[in-house]
A and B are shown apart, each in its own frame.
Chain A
């Protein structure tokens, strides 16, 4: 899933309910859980519920178990039925970064980190500014800017990868971080979301400041931006995950040179390599998801809110 997809999904999710429900129905913050009404649970239903939950939990965790077991195993452990390797191969981790490894994993992690951080911050900044301009600054021809955005939103990013590859090739940007970062900085979806967000943002504060002679620039940075951080960080988390996990575009423009591999492309390449050392590949996969697991551990609240709030509440 690309970052555009992620934002796309949020916007889509937001589209339908907005049209159905009057705004006053929506309580702010996290509403009380409906199904949890006191005393409504019945013993029979409860047992079924817990059995279902436990089965689902096991099914959801099995792939993680395989990932960890295989990452710490030997070639022989991979096809085995043992729950955990008898002799965990901790050196699989250090081997990943050794000079003998063809995987180039350290480099790929670095590339992915640079791309994800720069792309997330850059695209949000550009989108927030554009969204603010479209929502707030009275300019007669704003529609001329806005309608093309709407049009490009209709064409899914993935379908345009052939023409976009052609452009990158013409720019001589293939196999550089530029090709991986720059086209992703201009997200129509994020801009659209920010515009909607700012349209619902109370005007009074800004207008008071503007009367005091504060420019649009000042109002944006001093009043609007600090009050949009929850919204922005929700989008940032979604954007970061999308950028880190992106595959098709990095494969298309940077799949040629190991020096520009992202971590996803590197792993995919080695999935079909002539020489296989699967424990190392599983270890690479395990390490590659660690940054996102950290994001989950510390920012899940915002992520969940991001999906739910920006999605369901427009």
Chain B
């Protein structure tokens, strides 16, 4: 995902290195090698052991049948990958992610921007409101799931009190399929937890818009409100907006906590990571199959990343 940004930076290290090593002469560079490894060595060693080795091991496991053990047993070639892609539950999990993304991304975007604009416009009690909206960022998905599951969407929870207060009947919020009400708890819990974070990002974006742009517009006869938002604020937030959408998408792809804690082991509303978790680490302990699934997901997300990089083209035009 961040590769594009990195590539821009990677160019800098090249020039930086060359520029400096030219000056002080060969002797300096010799000492530099030692110092380089003093500074970068611990990190490199850790990355090798805890990121590279697992990836290689997982890759090997994914070509083996390996149940109830994490050492490869029988070589099966690409069978695990085929099984995984043929598994309707795995494909369903990708659909669940898609539906979730369709709900959560536009809602987060619109509401976070709305809150940011509101908070940005007031002068009185601004810190108070910003703190209120930002505070849920400190709460974990587990705590929020507890509140949602046993405080709001349980049998005699707040949601049913509200529906019966409005003359409706009690609902099974977490299991109803017709209509699929379980999306309401799932989407609202994430909104509550993350809106504040994205609001801050939008706020920072808003504050970076030059006041001159507005002044110029007023001189031209524009009035504050929708017009200036539409023609100045929103276009100026383009870069921030893209970042917010992509951050959201990646986070949604990795959704696990609230699905796991709100829906438990149910076989609906199971996003990719929850399905992967139950395949590899549930009672059947299919590590070969689980590793294959992990690599399929990794490939999908890398493709996503690259396509986004292409479409939005960031990183390439670093001044």
| A interface list, Cβ under 8 A from B | 1, 5, 8-9, 11-23, 25-26, 30-37, 40-42, 45, 49, 52-53, 56-57, 60-64, 66-67, 70, 78-79, 81, 126-127, 129-130, 132-135, 137-140, 142-143, 145-156, 158-167, 169-170, 182-183, 185-186, 188-189, 191-192, 195-196, 199, 215-217, 220, 241, 244-245, 247-248, 251-252, 264, 267-268, 271-272, 278, 281-282, 285, 288-289, 292-293, 295-296, 300, 303-304, 307-309, 311-312
A182 touches B47 (CB 8 A): no
Q: Once the chains bind, are B302 and A182 in contact (CB under 8 Å)?
A: no
Interface size on B, residues (CB 8 A): 138
A34-B214, A67-B147, A166-B70 are contacts. A129–B42 as well, Cβ < 8 Å?
yes
Are A153's CB and B1's CB within 8 A? yes
20 A-B residue contacts at CB 8 Å? A15-B2, A15-B5, A16-B242, A17-B208, A37-B211, A60-B136, A137-B40, A138-B24, A150-B3, A154-B305, A156-B301, A161-B276, A162-B281, A163-B54, A166-B58, A189-B2, A196-B9, A268-B145, A295-B138, A311-B243
User: Chain A nearest CB: distance from B73 CB in Å?
Assistant: 13
- B109 → chain A closest CB, angstroms: 14
Please report the C-alpha to C-alpha distance between residue A248 and residue B58 in the assembled complex, in whole angstroms. Answer: 18
Closest Cβ neighbor of A22 among chain B residues = B319
Residues of A within 8 A of B291 (CB): 162-163, 166
| Structural contact, A285 and B204, CB atoms closer than 8 A | no
Looking at chain B's contact residues, the main secondary structure is helix
Contact (Cβ within 8 A) B54 A49: no
Check A25–B57 contact: CB distance below 8 A: no
In the complex, what residues of A have CB within 8 A of residue B42's CB? Answer: 126, 129-130
Residue B179, interface by CB 8 Å:
no
| Contact across chains for B297 and A159 when beta carbons are under 8 A apart | yes
Give the Cβ gap from B68 to chain A, nearest Cβ, in Å.
12
A244 with B140: in contact, given A15-B2, A35-B117, A138-B21 (CB under 8 Å)?
yes
Interface residues of B in 114-165 (CB under 8 A from A): 114-115, 117-123, 126, 129-152, 154-158, 161
In the complex, what residues of B have CB within 8 A of residue A304's CB? 130, 134, 200
B94: Cβ under 8 A from any A Cβ: no
Q: A12-B243, A188-B47, A312-B205 are in contact. List 12 more A-B contacts (CB 8 A).
A: A16-B242, A17-B240, A20-B314, A63-B136, A78-B150, A130-B43, A160-B294, A248-B256, A252-B281, A267-B142, A282-B151, A296-B138
Q: What string of 1s and 0s marks CB contacts (under 8 Å) between B173-194 and chain A?
A: 0000000000000000000100
The answer to whether B131 and A40 have CB atoms under 8 Å apart is no
A281, B120: Cβ atoms closer than 8 Å: no
Residues of B within 8 A of A248 (CB): 256-257, 273, 277
Using A35-B206, A148-B47, A152-B52 as known contacts, say yes or no to A79 and B261 having CB atoms under 8 A apart.
Answer: no
Instruction: Find out whether the CB atom of B54 lies under 8 angstroms from the CB atom of A153.
Output: no
A251 CA to B142 CA in the complex, in Å? 11
Give CA–CA (A142, B17) in the complex, Å.
8
Query: Are B55 and A307 in contact, CB atoms less than 8 angstroms apart?
Result: no
6 pairs of A and B residues whose beta carbons are closest in the complex: A163-B58, A133-B39, A186-B46, A79-B156, A308-B204, A15-B5
Contact of B87 with A by CB under 8 A: no
- On whether A12 and B9 interact (CB within 8 A), knowing A156-B254, A217-B35, A264-B142, the answer reads no
A61 and B201 contact, CB distance less than 8 A: no
CB pair B51 A165 closer than 8 Å? no
Which B residues are closer than 8 A to A by beta carbons? 1-10, 12-14, 16-17, 20-21, 24, 28-29, 32-33, 35-36, 38-40, 42-44, 46-47, 50-55, 57-59, 61, 70, 114-115, 117-123, 126, 129-152, 154-158, 161, 192, 197, 200-201, 203-211, 214, 224-225, 238-240, 242-244, 246-247, 250-251, 253-254, 256-257, 260-261, 264, 273, 276-277, 280-281, 287, 290-291, 293-294, 297-298, 301-302, 305, 312, 314-319
Q: Measured between C-beta atoms, what is the minimum distance from B23 to chain A in Å?
A: 9
Contact of A63 among B8, B147, B257, B277 (CB under 8 A): B147
Contact B240–A12 (Cβ < 8 Å):
no
* Cβ-defined contact, A45 with B225, below 8 A: yes
Q: Given that A182-B50, A267-B143 are contacting pairs, would A23 and B239 also be in contact in the complex, using a CB cutoff of 8 Å?
A: no
Docked Cα-Cα span, A35 to B312, in Å, equals 28
Whether A160 lies near B298 (C-beta < 8 A) is yes
Q: Hey, which chain B residues are within 8 Å of A165, CB to CB?
A: 70, 280-281
- Chain B residue at smallest Cβ distance from A216: B35
Taking a contact as CB atoms under 8 Å apart, the answer to whether B206 and A312 are in contact is no
Say whether, besides A35-B121, A37-B214, A160-B55, A61 and B132 are in contact (CB < 8 Å): yes
Are B40 and A133 in contact (CB-based, < 8 A)?
yes
